[in-house]
Structure 1
Amino acid sequence: MKKSIELINSENYSLAEISDLTGFSSIAYFRQCFKDEYGMAPTEYLKKKRK
């Protein structure tokens, strides 16, 4: 999950690409794991980061 944060912060990849690059076969499962780990969905993290 740490790698996904790095990729999100780089702003070079879509969430679907990040899901694939971090080894998840399903974006829905990636979102759930991200939310379990960080307490928010990847899109919420992106919104907070951009503020």
Structure 2
Amino acid sequence: MAVLYEDPEVTPLALEKAYVAFHQSGNEAEANKTLTELKTRFPNYQLKTANAG
């Protein structure tokens, strides 16, 4: 997923929302890729969405 703006609060939330959107649309490959990116780049980020990750 391309990131146009790097913000320590907004970027991980955007990645989480992208993960949820990919997951809900049935695109598990992109969902998993996005979740891995989120966990790698922001290891201390606590997921906000119930049942995410």
Shorter-chain TM range is 0.3 to 0.5
TM-score (norm 1): 0.36
Structure with greater helix percent: 1
The normalised TM-score by structure 2 is 0.35
